Chain A
């Protein structure tokens, strides 16, 4: 079988990989997008909240295929249950709401449908997509390109490419292949668990509950999930508690100030994952290789939000790679650094600043002070006047 050649090969078809693929293909590159899964997005490791602005900025139409529920704002709680409400239906009633001419602030999406939708959009833009295809390794070749080893339904084969894009998530093996420093400290990876539940009321707000008592080193959340369902979840830093996320989630459901609200809850799905509350990777490129999305740790270090940042990073990556290859430049380390520079300029530098703020909060040894700081920072972060609005 002759080796097929592509401009770029992307490993991992989540929001970052599929967006990189779609944009690069729209710009005229020959793109192969592979994912090892048989069904994208599953098992779900994410609560699925994303702003409407983030979708539109990445050229993704909010579509009923993946939307589970529209969101209009935030409710931030401190440990005792005092609440800061940031409801855009009240702040800007002309713009936000369910009436004619009004729009939602954002959505909770079903990651299975969302990831499939983004993959489909990439495919329709000309990307070749292969599911059930895992990456095994890559090496730079003498002609300045690279060879990528893949396995599809137990058949191992090789493709040629100019650039390999690692969009393989937090567990990224691609970054490790390149020898990049991808290791995340235990204290910077929140251990998260959430239940999709029936029997819990919500009101179009993303609710965030702070405080050492409920979620040491992280926070708890209650998100609307459509069809009358909700998500109840939390993330904890394991250096700050001897219990696991499941234990804390049970405590939160049974004993928090929401215990009456939760009393009829019934679990419909159980989901979890690691959420980085960390800085972006210092080096996100190598010869013939870049990382994007969770693999590059393009994740908000305060909220753990990573869909909008993945879409945004994919947009930057797709355009950058098209510019690079179409101008005849070599895809070596020196030139691919430009991708990271563009990303830092667009949002990475602000993400670093947010990381330093987060680190300063958790460096405070006084628990009450720390709780207050986190509550205030979260409340400020979601305010319409936040400098970090789109980070």
Chain B
């Protein structure tokens, strides 16, 4: 499998129910979180397993690739 590109997650706060499921399933070391019981949104994720997006009961987590082409963001 090719190495995954790092991503930055975005959370649609209007739909977020602050259930913490994304944090519970996240394989990161401690601290990849926000103060609102979600995975970090301001830090690139180099694991990019997308389990947080899948577990979200209201599908309010999306991501952008850190390096790439159109629509992507550069950090």
Contacts and interface: CB of A to CB of B under 8 A. Distances in A.
Interface of A: 43, 45, 169-171, 173, 176-177, 183-184, 186, 189, 191-193, 238, 244-246, 270-274, 276
Interface stretch (B1-9, B24-32, B63-71): B24-32
Contacts of A171: 20, 23-24, 33, 37
A244 B25 contact: no
B21 A273 contact: yes
B25 A246 contact: no
B73 interface: no
A274 B24 CA distance: 7
Given A186-B54, A189-B24, A238-B54, A173 B17 contact: no
B40 to A, nearest CB: 12
A61 B39 CA distance: 37
A170 B26 CA distance: 11
Contacts of B19: 43, 45, 192, 271-274
The 8 closest A-B pairs by CB, nearest first: A274-B21, A245-B57, A176-B30, A171-B23, A170-B24, A273-B19, A193-B57, A272-B19
B30 A272 contact: no
Contacts of A170: 20-21, 23-24
A271 B31 CA distance: 24
A214 B23 CA distance: 26
Given A186-B51, A273-B21, A173 B56 contact: no
Nearest to A177: B30
B21 A272 contact: yes
Contacts of B17: 43, 193, 270-272
Contact of B31 (A173, A246, A274, A276): A173
A173 B55 contact: no
10 contacts: A43-B19, A45-B20, A171-B24, A171-B37, A173-B30, A186-B55, A191-B54, A272-B57, A273-B19, A274-B20
B59 A244 contact: yes
A164 to B, nearest CB: 14
Contacts of B54: 186, 191, 238
A192 B20 contact: no
Interface string B32-75: 01000100000000000001001111110000000000000000
Given A43-B18, A170-B20, A171-B23, A272 B29 contact: no
Contacts of B58: 193, 244-246, 272
Nearest to A36: B35
A234 to B, nearest CB: 9
A176 B29 contact: yes
B58 to A, nearest CB: 5
B12 to A, nearest CB: 13
Nearest to B25: A189
A152 to B, nearest CB: 14
B59 A186 contact: no
B20 A186 contact: no
A173 B40 CA distance: 14
Nearest to A43: B18
B56 A244 contact: yes
A309 to B, nearest CB: 16
Most buried by B among A177, A244, A270, A276: A244
A246 B20 contact: no
A274 B59 contact: no
A171 B32 CA distance: 11
Given A43-B17, A173-B31, A274 B37 contact: no
A215 to B, nearest CB: 12
B30 A192 contact: no
B62 to A, nearest CB: 13
Contacts of A238: 54-55
Contacts of A270: 17
A294 to B, nearest CB: 9
Given A186-B54, A189-B55, A271-B19, 17 more contacts: A170-B23, A171-B23, A173-B30, A173-B33, A177-B30, A186-B25, A191-B21, A191-B57, A192-B19, A193-B17, A245-B58, A246-B57, A270-B17, A272-B19, A272-B58, A274-B19, A274-B25
